[in-house]
Amino acid sequence: MQKIDRYEPIVGKSKIDELRMLAGYLKGKVIQHINSTAVGGGVAEILSKILPLMQELGVNTQWDIIKGSPDFFDVTKSIHNALHGKDTLITKEMWKTFNDISSQNIREMNLYGDIMFIHDPQPIALVKRKSGMRKSKWIWRCHVDVSAPDRKVWDFLSNFIDQYDAAIFSSAHFSHKMKPKQVLISPSIDPFSDKNREVTQDEIDAVLNKYKIDPRQKPIVCQISRYDALKDPVGVIEAYKMVKKYVDCQLVLVGNRAADDPETDKIYGQVLEAAGGDPDIHALLVEDIPYEINVLQRVSDVIVQKSIREGFALTVSEALWKAKPVVASAVGGIPLQIKHKYGGLLCHSIEGAAFAIKQLLNAPEYARKLGENGKEHIRQNFLLTRHIREYMLLFLSLYSDSGVVTL
Ligand code: UDP
């Protein structure tokens, strides 16, 4: 049995047959994905799941990573923040660092794809090699919320974006005027990955012991995200404190390190300070062990994603797939995943988050129903098979003058 066959009972046979057919049309093409980190964050998460399936379907799909120095990742994190609309100073020297490291990657990287699939701003300048790779098609995949970017930074990136053949965004709100054709493709989760599969009682016990969490004591409110100001972990603590006045509960904050995110320690320090030694706050800085995230999501009573900006928020799909009631900010790709009061609760402030968490903790039957509806929504819209289908259709459209795929 192939891996892809396992998805049939979840999404239906016709969907899997279609994937096989589309893959057949891509025989002989090499797809080269490039991003800036192999672990940590949503991009690495998705690529690690898409690659094996595409390869199994017979599409030659590869993944390479650019080289970067700590200085370079400081700059790209500032670019990331500026794209999210945060007031950020990027000095001349910082731009020079970006250009120097980009030039080094442009010179040294082995670029060989028929379709070059570049993720996010860090490797964006590689498109300068396009003219030397005749017939290659270039896709820029934007995973960040660019609904209200800093104008200067966006204009700088536009010089590169305009050289691509297509640009992919996760929400229609992120669209801008640009030369390449724009495509809306949402990310996805893999129901069979260690992060989403069923877990055993032994696995649950091991994780709870390791992190000294007892779910029988008090209901668990949990947010799982890199320690990043835009994920607002301190806001989650404030919301928890408001809830705690009415419902006794414990808060679990979980974050790992992404190789391309230099801000972890600073934000984690702020979180510990805000937690102020409260024994019911578990602020965990964890290694990248997917099944542990899975367990922590499953033992939670309410899952929060109180982001200030968000490209998509895979964590929301992951939580809903486990039929958990979710409280999440109405930003970026989150409203695509949550229909308010049907498949979760959307919020717009710390107070709003606190109100929604309290409501769910007080009404378990309502919370259960929201979780169930949310899971069905994810099944229909945000699983890996849909994502792969849309990528393959886009690849094929790049070889059609009209942009329409005729099979
Ligand atoms: N994640 C993880 N461990 C952590 C925190 C996050 O494995 O401690 C995972 C999370 O489960 C999700 C991904 O990292 O799969 C984060 O993707 P998302 O789109 O939510 O946010 P990003 O970090 O890309 O902004």
Of 39, 45, 146, the one to substitute when testing ligand 1's pocket (max ligand atoms within 8 A of C-beta) is 45
Q: What is the pLDDT of residue 404?
A: 65
- 220-224 sheet: strands from edge to edge: 281-285, 250-255, 220-224, 302-305, 326-329, 345-347
Tokens 């250009």 belong to: 99
- Establish whether residue 41 lines the binding site of ligand 1, counting it when its CB lies within 6 angstroms of any ligand atom: yes
Contact call for residues 163 and 126 (beta carbons, < 8 A): no
Q: Report the candidate in 395, 391, 376 with the shortest Cα–Cα distance to residue 191.
A: 376
The pLDDT tens digits of the residues spanning 257-308 come to 877 889 999 999 999 999 999 999 999 999 989 999 999 999 999 999 999 9
Q: Which atom of ligand 1 is nearest to the CA of 225?
A: 5
Ligand 1 centroid to Cα of residue 17, in Å, is: 31
Q: Which atom of ligand 1 is nearest to the CA of 286?
A: 8
The pLDDT tens digits of the residues spanning 356-397 come to 999 999 999 999 999 999 999 999 999 999 999 999 999 999
Which CATH number applies to 201-381: 3.40.50.300, 3.40.50.720, 1.10.8.60, 3.40.50.2000? 3.40.50.2000
The domain 3-188+383-397 having CATH identifier 3.40.50.2000: the answer here is yes
Ligand 1 centroid to Cα of residue 39, in Å, is: 10
- Establish whether residue 318 lines the binding site of ligand 1, counting it when its CB lies within 6 angstroms of any ligand atom: yes
Regions of the chain short of the pLDDT cut 50: none
* 241 CB-near residues (< 8 Å, 6+ apart): none
Of 120, 223, 226, 331, the one to substitute when testing ligand 1's pocket (max ligand atoms within 8 A of C-beta) is 226
H or E segment to which residue 167 belongs: strand 166-169
For the chain, residues classed under CATH 3.40.50.2000 are 3-188+383-397, 201-381
State the pTM of this model.
0.93
Q: Report the candidate in 153, 50, 96, 98 with the shortest Cα–Cα distance to residue 390.
A: 50
Ligand 1 centroid to Cα of residue 253, in Å, is: 12
The C-alpha atoms of residue 227 and residue 217 are separated, in whole angstroms, by: 26
Q: What is the pLDDT of residue 402?
A: 73
